[in-house]
């Protein structure tokens, strides 16, 4: 069977696996999914070459790639990825959250990394195909979902760097997931990295490319060594302004009740423009919570927590959903946010976002994309 994506005319052949995981094994995995550790029975692949454009689209059994050791991606890390989730809603539908926004960000990442543009409709079509085929893999437990990982790698063989690869592989894989942080809304502790930065002006910080994450592990290791869950990055120029976390954007809450407001660092080109971040900036005003972009330094964070002006801080992202930040540590000292426990604004926004994604709330912005 071949299925065509109408606008871009990119076709996908469908090859169904003859060795899917037995239902009993799958049920055991779905009962307690671990983030990104087991993958479904199928994947989507699609190739691009300078002479043929996008071709050889396929939904096929999940399996390894065979690549020449001289393949460009192994040496120069020309790789981008996305992360989004499919939810089994309480009404029974399986949906994705804002997949077109991920398609658009994949396009900007591709541009920054000198890679070809995948038409947005083909990106979404790939998701629809894989999720429909592997729908039995979408878990129904509280807060569970199917994490989708689209990515693209440079596949030309050769070590020259005069021009980018002339061949690419796009692929989509999926993995049943519980919340990224165990314990749901359990507050995390963060380490503000004094030594490393994640991204500099003019660099690749706003692209979702693998290198940004490879370069972040040393900072994350230091966070763990200092007894913290996650690293927080500062700007690379002044080393004072808070940017984001390893895989999440940050929000700072001031006030409470009808005077509550949230602020997230403005996008300067060195941060990932999070889709959860954007969704919260849009949703909060409807809940009577003022929302704005701004900037905050480490000293202001510390002083704001000491004076009580900052009442809550939380991180947000696809994998992390909304996770409270309870404790902050840096070489200059450590402090609690509020009393270290999850605050009401954080929990309210979390409930609203999850309610939308799981179909318990109306969807006025048209963010829910029904798949099957
Ligand atoms: N910042 C970084 C570095 C990330 O990797 C992510 C996760 O994708 C985010 C922020 C949050 O983005 P989103 O809400 O689109 O998942
Ligand atoms: C996501 O939330 O999709 C992310 O990309 C975080 C991930 C790198 C664990």
C-alpha 54/C-alpha 11 separation (Å) is 9
Q: What size, in residues, is the chain?
A: 372
* Ligand 2 center–CA 124 separation, angstroms: 18
Q: What is the CATH number of the domain that holds 215?
A: 3.20.10.10
Same domain, 167 and 19: yes
Residue 92 included in any domain: yes
The two tokens of residue 138 are 């979408």
Of 153, 177, 201, the position where a domain reaches its end is 177
Same domain, 169 and 270: no
Mapped onto helix, strand or coil, the DSSP state of residue 228 is coil
Same domain, 29 and 154: yes
Residue 336 included in any domain: yes
Position 88 scores a pLDDT of 98
Residue 128 included in any domain: yes
Ligand 2 and 272: CB distance under 6 A: no
Rg (alpha carbons) of the chain, rounded to whole number: 21
Same domain, 160 and 214: no
> Which of ligand 2's atoms lies nearest the C-alpha of 36?
9
Residue 256 included in any domain: yes
pLDDT in tens, the chain (372 residues): 666 555 578 999 999 999 999 999 999 999 999 999 999 999 999 999 999 999 999 999 999 999 999 999 999 999 999 999 999 999 999 999 999 999 999 999 999 999 999 999 999 999 999 999 999 999 999 999 999 999 999 999 999 999 999 999 999 999 999 976 666 688 999 999 999 999 999 999 999 999 999 999 999 999 999 999 999 999 999 999 999 998 999 999 999 999 999 999 999 999 999 999 999 999 999 999 999 999 999 999 999 999 999 999 999 999 889 999 999 999 889 999 999 999 999 999 999 999 999 999 999 999 999 999
Residue 182 included in any domain: no
Same domain, 268 and 197: yes
Position 183 scores a pLDDT of 60
Ligand 1 and 145: CB distance under 6 A: no
Position 92 scores a pLDDT of 95
> Which of ligand 2's atoms lies nearest the C-alpha of 276?
2
Angstrom distances, CA of residue 283 to CA of 14, 88, 176, 263: 38, 22, 27, 13
Residue 371 included in any domain: no
Same domain, 239 and 305: yes
Same domain, 172 and 286: no
Of 120, 152, 177, the position where a domain reaches its end is 177
* Ligand 1 center–CA 277 separation, angstroms: 8
Same domain, 93 and 192: no
Same domain, 238 and 278: yes
Which residue range is the domain that position 306 belongs to? 188-357
C-alpha 173/C-alpha 60 separation (Å) is 11
Angle at 60 between CA 59 and CA 63, to 5 degrees: 135
Q: DSSP strand E in the chain: where?
A: 2-4, 11-14, 42-49, 53-61, 79-81, 84-88, 94-97, 145-154, 167-177, 188-192, 230-234, 242-245, 249-254, 261-265, 290-294, 310-317, 321-330, 333-336, 368-370
Residue 370 included in any domain: no
* Ligand 2 center–CA 213 separation, angstroms: 10
Residue 369 included in any domain: no
Of 128, 145, 177, the position where a domain reaches its end is 177
* Ligand 2 center–CA 247 separation, angstroms: 5
* Ligand 1 center–CA 211 separation, angstroms: 14
Ligand 2 and 83: CB distance under 6 A: yes
Same domain, 70 and 214: no
Q: What is the CATH number of the domain that holds 107?
A: 3.30.470.10
- Assess contact for 131 and 81: CB atoms under 8 A: no
Ligand 2 and 246: CB distance under 6 A: no
C-alpha 112/C-alpha 198 separation (Å) is 16
- Assess contact for 99 and 366: CB atoms under 8 A: no
Same domain, 173 and 192: no
Same domain, 169 and 193: no
Number of domains in the chain: 2
């Amino acid at each position: 069977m071949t299925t065509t994506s109408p606008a871009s005319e990119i076709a996908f052949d469908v090859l169904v696996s003859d060795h899917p995981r037995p239902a009993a094994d799958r049920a055991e995995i779905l009962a307690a999914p671990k983030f990104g550790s087991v993958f479904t029975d199928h994947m989507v692949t699609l190739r691009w070459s300078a002479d043929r454009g996008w071709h050889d689209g396929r939904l096929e059994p999940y399996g390894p790639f065979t690549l020449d050791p001289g393949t460009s991606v192994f040496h120069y890390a020309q790789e981008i990825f996305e992360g989004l989730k499919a939810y089994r809603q309480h009404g029974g539908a399986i949906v994705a959250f804002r997949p077109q926004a991920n398609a658009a960000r994949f396009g900007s990442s591709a541009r920054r990394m000198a890679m070809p543009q995948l038409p947005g409709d083909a990106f979404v079509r790939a998701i629809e195909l894989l999720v429909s085929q592997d729908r039995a893999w979408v878990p129904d437990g509280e807060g569970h979902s199917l994490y989708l990982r689209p990515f693209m790698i440079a596949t030309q063989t050769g070590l020259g760097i005069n021009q980018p690869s002339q061949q690419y592989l796009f692929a989509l894989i999926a993995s049943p997931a519980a919340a990224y942080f165990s314990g749901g809304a359990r507050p995390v502790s963060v380490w503000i990295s004094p030594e490393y930065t994640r991204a500099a002006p003019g660099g690749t910080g706003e692209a979702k490319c693998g290198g940004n994450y490879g370069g972040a592990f040393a900072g994350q290791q230091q966070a763990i060594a200092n007894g913290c869950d996650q690293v927080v990055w500062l700007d690379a120029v002044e080393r004072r302004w808070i940017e984001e976390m390893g895989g999440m954007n940050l929000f700072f809450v001031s006030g409470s009740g009808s005077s509550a407001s949230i602020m997230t660092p403005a996008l300067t080109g060195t941060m990932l423009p999070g889709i959860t971040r954007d969704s919260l900036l849009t949703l909060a005003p409807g809940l009577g919570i003022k929302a704005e972009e701004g900037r905050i330094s480490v000293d202001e964070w510390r002083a704001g927590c000491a004076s009580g002006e900052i009442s809550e801080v939380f991180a947000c992202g696809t994998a992390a959903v909304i996770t409270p930040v309870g404790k902050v540590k840096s070489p200059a000292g450590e402090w609690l946010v509020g009393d270290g426990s999850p605050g009401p604004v954080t929990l309210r926004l979390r409930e609203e976002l999850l309610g939308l994604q799981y179909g318990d709330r109306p969807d006025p912005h048209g963010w829910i994309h029904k798949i099957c």
